Structure 1
Amino acid sequence: MKYTYFVTATGAGTGLTSVCLGLVRALEQLGVRVAFCKPIAQQFDKEQGPERSTHLVNVTLGLHPEKPIKLAHAQQQLALGQADRLMEEVIQLSQASGEDADILIVEGLVPVADENYIAELNRNMAKALDADVILVSAKNSDSTAQLNERIKMTASLFGGIHHRKVVGCILNKVGAPAPASQQVIAEEDPEELGTAKHHSAEEFAAILPIFQKDDFKCIGAVQWNPLLVAPRTADVAEHLGARIINEGQMSERRVQSITVCARTMPNMLHTLKAGTLVVTPGDRDDILLAACMAALNGVPLAGVILTGGLQPIPQVMDLCHSAFLTGLPVLTSEHNTFRSAQLLNSMNTEVPANDIQRMESVMNAVAGSINAKWLAERAQVIEERRLSPPAFRHLLVKRARKAAKRIILPEGSEPRTIRAAAICHEKGIAHCVLLGNPDEIRRIAQTLDIILPDSIEIIDPAIAVPKYIDAMVELRKHKGLSAPMAEAQLEDPIVLGTMMLALNDVDGLVAGAIHTTANTVRPALQLIKTRPNTKLVSSVFFMLLPDQAVVYGDCAINPDPNAEELADIAIQSGDSARAFGIEPRIAMISYSTGISGTGSDVEKVREATRIAQKLRPDLLIDGPMQYDAASTPSVAASKAPDSLVAGRATVFVFPDLNTGNTTYKAVQRSANVISIGPMLQGLRKPVNDLSRGALVEDIVYTIALTAIQADQMSDQ
């Protein structure tokens, strides 16, 4: 551990844990080896089980900080005058947590009213760890002047804003709505940071007097996003103590808005949108039936809460049965409608310890708003030492934005694809073209509450097909393709999209969310064809292991390549790794290492290694090699001590599809590893296949991969 940042809050409700974890994510995206520690546990309200911050950093970032000291123990040590002994424990925990890291992020304690010892503990921990201090603040119910004073007062606990160890503040929840009780009068505070404004860190530095000095920096300004505080319906059920009538997808659906229905049904229909939680008296069968109709029409409501302890009669429940099968959660609360609404309004907005998906979104939002590069430069660890999974994903997005390519999505009416396209446009990853009926695509988007940017292009296949008939006949005339046959084949949206790519109307294609790999690859082989000097089309997966991103090939296309083909796969995979920022050290995987084994299978790998080394002496290629010898330094030291690849491999080339596919799935599922791919190699233009179980995030990153491939191919 080389450098320590102690991060603490200026008050309650600042989102300290979210900012700390987002800061870790931001530093990881720079390739910095970063660790986390929460030396003293602090649990609130009804929190049970493991300490929240330590648990979340474990399951989201794969870090393993030491178990924190209980707050009761820390209080007891202070009462006994054993503060020095307590700090020794804090130092021991911190050093153990950050032993191999360049930067350690230490989360302090949240100040609590009438408990002055919290401030003392924070001050003592920062001093004992010789840490730079970063404050986290949120405006909440304060005026701008009060926010400025709160930051200043908290900084004074650590020596003030001019102290060399007090480096700056991260502002969270910028633009959040004011509490209902707060009445803001603009004339009294002309520079008030209102809810309608979006301020950057630079703008805050100009507005708040405390940031006018060069030695106290506004390190980040995290904008308020209501989606990041949206609880799951299951969280609502627990908060209300509600009884479950139909569980549905209550663990996946999120409450983005609440509608309390006391009006007649026609006057509340406009509120039935994706993410809406419907709260209504239990005897309002008409409201329940309307919600069920919305669900049957594809609107993913967050759920229905029937209040007053009332439940519909069995006949009504029978009518709702088909809607329940769509995943619509239905709950009943013993409280009346008014009290239920009050309780919902008072829900804690902090991320529960078991809501990993939401914490991932929060961390990414925070990471994108923090000047982590400045912090890394201050710690003098800015050089990139490895391509960690967050660094790899960050690199994908960055390079895709720069490429600015046009990617066709033939499965244009598939809901995950529509949402991925919207995200890509929002983040500037690619210009997506949705292939499908425009009215149907817009209806699905509206049903799912997806905002389609104006920049997204929608092409109707019925209108586009005639343009490509003659061109397809020309491409396939050696196969005797006639115009009527071409027209029939172009009715397949993947064939149509592939023709658009073949004629340079788009730069890349992504499909497979609802089609097989064969459906995606076959048109590409027929119409796009392989690149010059390439023997075959192969594939790689980018496996995001806990410590770094590595490449697996070929795990999806070629069942049993011969030695020449396997050498080609190795070269393609090495080039793909290098193209995506991974320094290629290629291990040719087999059941034996070096010259220890014999047999036709290992001889094939040995010959493939020889061919690949001869064709590409610029690449580090070694084999045959067992997987453990390729991946584990201690094993490599005994099995292949002279190898430049063993123990350090970043590209793993498997001898056949059976071995490759089995290994990638075993690693992915057993180790809970994210895999991106398969990415196809060897085609003249980029076509990439999706798993039919792909998540929206998988589609987004595959689009990014495709855009980068298109950019690289255009330069060749």
Structure 2
Amino acid sequence: MTRSVYVTGIGRGDGRQVVELGVMELLTRRVDRVGVFRPLVHDGPDRLYELLRSRYRLTQPTDNAFGMTYEEAAALQAGRGEDELVSRLVEQFHAASEGYDAVLVLGTDYADTQLPAELGLNARLANEFGASVLPVVSGQGQDADSVASEVRNAHHAFASLGCDVVATVANRVRGGERAQAVRLLEDQLPEPVYVLPEQPALSAPTVAQVRDKLGADMLLGDPAALARDVRDFVFGGAHLPAFLPALTEGCMVITPGDRADLVVGALASHAAGSPAIAGVLLTLGELPGPETMALAARLAPGTPVLGVSGSSFPTAAELLALEGRLTAATPRKAEVALGLFEQHVDTGQLAERLAVVRGERVTPMMFEHQLVERARGQRRHIVLPEGTEERVLRAAEVVLRRNICDLTLLGEHTAVRRRAAELGVDLTLLGETELPSGTQASARIVDPQSSPLRERFAGTYAELRAHKGVTFELAHDVVADVSYFGTLMVREGLADGMVSGAAHSTAATVRPAFEVIRTSPDASIVSSVFFMCLADRVLVYGDCAVNPDPDAEQLADIAAQSATTAARFGVEPRIAMLSYSTGTSGSGTDVDKVREATELLRKSRPDLLVEGPIQYDAAVDPSVAAAKLPGSQVAGRATVLVFPDLNTGNNTYKAVQRSAGAVAVGPVLQGLRKPVNDLSRGALVSDIINTVAITAVQAQRGGDIV
């Protein structure tokens, strides 16, 4: 039976898109096929549905996701009554839900719907759909007593209409009122109540939304910077000395285009990083001279400068009513929303109340979600040496928003802050101080050149490499390199793991780890695996990135390490030692190496299920396995595939990645005493997030270097 949850409100302005997005995230973590149904929709594009469709790669046909327009519903209800309207929508819901394990139903929005008794209609639809109800109430502008009263009223309204209320959410509650509202509502209702604070970053429009609202021209700047949040508007009219103190973090400066002094002053302030502005909007159709515009472009490259023909006052009137929206074009806001939801909602409790049971299939998205959940469960501290790299900064923002782990970014303080400001990335960086303890992940910047740790690390490195003739003076220069500095942070227990390689070679990342962290006592070799996320399962490939031609003993060690890594990440290890021959059918040096490695592994790890030598098709295809190795516990069901050499492994993983559309997560290094992982220089932001989460999970095993 399809499990459905109906998210609805009791009026406008509740910001329930945050809750709808959060529930969709929860559902997709646990089941493979999740559908979306909105019974009633306005004409035009549905922004939230497009966001869900894009983010969760929905294959559901768009026309299958909607019932009818509000105009059609109002006409049908007026002409033939509510029963006919409900009957039609129930029929459409069942057609939409067919073939899905769970369905998220998006309730009406109370905005010019022309429907009487809208709350009652939502309650009746939920009951007819057989869906649990998750009411959302707005706490915007209310004190704690009013919020508590609204929550109780919403619960009783839906419960009295026969709804299965699984939880109630109060959203957009003022930060100062939230704690009191939580106390007032504790144990007051039979279901959980979650209280979400107002999050200014969600209500802030982006620069792109300002541009679209005003029909403004983009005069300067990088299109990527249009994603910056506009947290405030500062109107320029005063002289520069009085104007500069009025600038605030993330503000948009609105000034007549003939005020070249204010334009240059605002951009110079941004370039200095104090404060970082969202952009500049020039009014009256005026532009500074070409020399000023050229200077502006050099002062803050990438920062948007927009132009409109209207004057400042009517422009201000339009902008002050503008609020941010969650759309497919605002992925950063989606991360903010999910971070807010996951911080204040007990998602495990909510999933249990929804009776959403994890499916047996593991999709790429489910695997990625599980990584995040595992990392968040015991939060660790990861160092990122490439602190000014764009993809790293964007990934860091998501990691912090989703509370995956604490971070240290390496680099010169001003350079990191300036780069983050140019990208519109909000990391709440704290400078070279201790990370604060608390429930929310946080970050700091450390500059290896000026850090007091440099002296300590130089002494450590000189001692470790004395047999290679390394003096303290030489070590003092070496440890200023971000890769060495980050690796020494891990060795000294000042970070739990390191992720690098987006802008550095593999050698630059791995060599310091070999020198400083070294091989684990239970491993003879450092190797790697990729998690290959196929449509219906996750396979572990090793070694596809480090060892060119391992001998039999090394191959057995790689297999044992890969099995341990697989088990740590929830993949039951069944090991296939791959070759071009299966069983005893072939001979030769290459096959003999794999056969010997298999026997060594069986002797050293009798607890593991292993088969080899075996061909790839016999390892993963049950029908081939039945013909070639009948009765094998591994053949046809292998989850850990160990390649005989780097040439075979690297080419195979790339062929499967490109041809089968698999998501390849890795390489994940194994065999080190503490986790250090290398990124591809072509890594996407999502790849970096996944690798940080994997490194954090690896670090959860604990253990100090001896």
Residue 86 of structure 1 aligns to a residue whose secondary structure is helix
Greater mean deviation of Cα atoms: 342-351 or 142-151 = 142-151
Q: How does 1:167-316 map to 2 (within 5 A)?
A: 167-175=166-174, 195-199=175-179, 202-206=182-186, 212-214=188-190, 217-248=191-222, 249-272=224-247, 275-294=250-269, 296-297=271-272, 301-316=277-292
Q: Secondary structure at the match of 1:519?
A: helix
Aligned position for 1:107:
106
1:574 equivalenced with 2:563 (yes/no): yes
User: Within 2, Cα distance between the matches of 1:428 and 1:364?
Assistant: 7
Report the counterpart of residue 130 of structure 1 in structure 2: 130
Any idea what SS the aligned residue of 1:305 has? strand
Q: Deviations over 1:266-299 (max 9, x none)?
A: 2222455653322111211122222343455467
Q: Deviations over 1:629-687 (max 9, x none)?
A: 76677888898886655665544444544554455566667888765543211123322
CA distance in 2, matches of 1:271, 1:587: 65
Question: What residue is the counterpart of 2:318 in the other structure?
Answer: 343
CA distance in 1, matches of 2:621, 2:125: 37
Superposition TM-score, scaled by structure 2 size: 0.81
Q: Secondary structure at the match of 2:39?
A: coil
Alpha-carbon contact 1:205-1:218 (below 8 Å) kept: no
Amino acid in structure 1 at the alignment position of 2:464: L
Q: 1:144 to 1:526 in 2, by over 3 A?
A: closer
Cα drift, residue 371 of structure 1: 3.3
Instruction: Tell me the distance in 1 between the aligned counterparts of 2:41 and 2:695.
Output: 45
CA distance in 2, matches of 1:490, 1:540: 29
- 1:684 match: 673
SS at match of 2:324: coil
Look up the match of 2:294: 318
**Cα distance in 1 for residues equivalent to 2:242 and 2:498:** 44
Q: Flag the 1:350–1:602 CA change in 2: closer, same or farther, 3 A.
A: farther
2:509 pairs with 1:520: yes
1:24 positional shift: 2.5
Amino acid aligned to 1:132: S
> Match of 1:67?
65
**Which residue identity is paired with 1:23?**
V
Structure 1 CA distance for aligned equivalents of residues 316 and 537 of structure 2: 47
Which residue of structure 1 lines up, in the alignment, with residue 434 of structure 2? 455
The alignment partner of 1:69 has SS state of strand
Q: Does the residue aligned with 1:293 lie in a helix, a strand or coil?
A: helix
Q: Distance in 2 between matches of 1:634 and 1:280?
A: 72
TM-aligned CA distance change 1:261 to 1:652, over 3 Å: farther
1:557 paired with 2:537, answer no
Q: Which amino acid letter does the alignment assign opposite residue 233 of structure 1?
A: V
C-alpha distance 626-225 of structure 1, shift in aligned 2 (>3 A) = farther
Using the alignment, how far apart are the partners of 2:204 and 2:587 within structure 1?
A: 59
Q: How many residues align?
A: 681
Distance 1:474 1:353, change over 3 A: closer
Contact 1:23/1:367 (8 A) holds in 2: no
- Per the alignment, do residues 223 and 316 of structure 1 end up closer, same or farther by CA in structure 2, a change over 3 Å counting? same
- Cα 1:218–1:616 shift into 2, 3 Å: same
Structure 1 gaps, min length 5: 176-194
Larger displacement relative to structure 2 (52-61 or 610-619): 610-619
Matches within 5 A, 1:466-615: 466-469=455-458, 471-499=460-488, 501-502=490-491, 507-542=496-531, 550-588=539-577, 608-609=597-598, 611-615=600-604
Distance 1:172 1:544 in 2: 36
* CA gap 1:712/1:225 in 2 versus in 1, 3 angstroms: same
Q: Which residue of 1 aligns with 2:438?
A: none
Q: What amino acid is the match of 1:37? A: V
Match of 2:334 among 359, 363, 367: 359
Contact 2:151 2:170 in 1 (8 A): no
Match of 2:439 in 1: none
Contact 1:605 1:655 in 2 (8 A): yes
Deviation digits for residues 461-515 of structure 1, max 9, x if unmatched? 5644444555544433443445554444344343344455556665544433432
Q: Is the 8 A contact 1:285 1:312 kept in 2?
A: yes
User: What's the CA shift for 1:530?
Assistant: 1.8
Q: RMSD across aligned C-alpha pairs, in angstroms?
A: 4.3
**SS of corresponding position for 1:327:** coil
Offset from partner CA, 1:49-72 (integer Å, 9 cap, x none): xx4444322222234444323325
Preserved CA contact (<8 Å) 2:448 2:482: no
Tell me which residue corresponds to 1:330: 305
Map 1:3-18; keep pairs closer than 5 Å.
Answer: 3-18=3-18
Question: Separation in 2 of the partners of 1:671 and 1:203?
Answer: 52
Which one is further off, 284-293 or 441-450?
A: 441-450
Pair 1:36 & 2:38 matched: no
What is aligned with 1:56?
Answer: 51
| Deviates further, 577-586 or 506-515 | 506-515
Whole-angstrom distance in 1 between the partners of 2:629 and 2:193: 47
Match of 2:344 in 1: 369
Q: Conserved in 2, the CA contact under 8 Å of 1:27 and 1:34?
A: no
The secondary structure found in structure 2 opposite 1:36 is strand
CA, structure 1 residues 593+40, in 2 after alignment: closer, same or farther (shift >3 Å)? farther
Other structure's SS at 1:24 match: helix
The alpha carbon displacement at 1:342 in A equals 1.7
Q: 1:124 to 1:503 in 2, by over 3 A?
A: closer
Q: 1:86 is aligned with what amino acid?
A: R
Whether contact under 8 Å (1:405, 1:707) holds in the other structure is yes
Opposite residue 70 of structure 1, the aligned amino acid is M
SS at match of 1:452: coil
Query: Helix, strand or coil: the match of 1:203?
Result: helix
Secondary structure of 2:306's match? strand
The Cα of 1:518 is off from its aligned counterpart by: 0.2
Q: TM-score normalised to the size of structure 1? A: 0.80
User: Does the CA contact (< 8 Å) of 2:372 and 2:693 recur in 1?
Assistant: yes
Cα distance in structure 2, aligned partners of 1:476 and 1:507: 22
Quote the Cα distance in structure 1 between the aligned partners of 2:226 and 2:402.
27
Matched, 1:86 2:84: no
Deviation at 1:137, TM superposition (A): 1.5
Whole-angstrom CA distance in 1 between matches of 2:268 and 2:600: 64
Relative to 1, partners in 2 of residues 1:516 and 1:372: Cα closer, same or farther, differing over 3 Å?
A: same
SS of residue paired to 2:176 = coil
1:537 positional shift: 1.1
* Cα contact 1:461–1:493 (8 A) shared by 2: no
CA distance in 2, matches of 1:514, 1:684: 24
The answer (yes or no) to whether the contact 2:221–2:305 under 8 Å persists in 1 is yes
Residues 298-332 of structure 1, C-alpha deviations (whole Å, 9 max, x = no match): 676422211122223333333334347x2122211
User: Counterpart of 1:191?
Assistant: none
Partner AA of 2:547 in structure 1: N
The answer on 1:96 being equivalent to 2:98 is: yes
Report if the CA contact (8 A) 2:576-2:619 is conserved.
Answer: yes
* Offset of residue 519 of structure 1: 0.9
**Cα displacement string for residues 368-389 of structure 1 (whole angstroms, at most 9, x for unaligned residues):** 4333333433344456856666
Q: Which deviates the most, 424-433 or 262-271? A: 424-433
C-alpha deviation, 1:441, in angstroms: 6.2
1:250 CA displacement:
3.8
Are the structure 2 counterparts of residues 522 and 87 from structure 1 closer, same or farther at C-alpha, using a change threshold of 3 Å? Answer: same
- The 8 Å contact of residues 123 and 158 in structure 1, kept in 2 or not, is answered as yes
Counterparts in 2 of 1:442 and 1:4: CA distance versus 1, 3 Å: closer
- Aligned in 2, Cα 1:669/1:357: closer, same or farther, shift over 3 Å? farther
Which deviations, in whole Å up to 9, do the C-alpha atoms of 1:367-410 show, x marking residues without a partner?
44333333433344456856666665565556556656565555
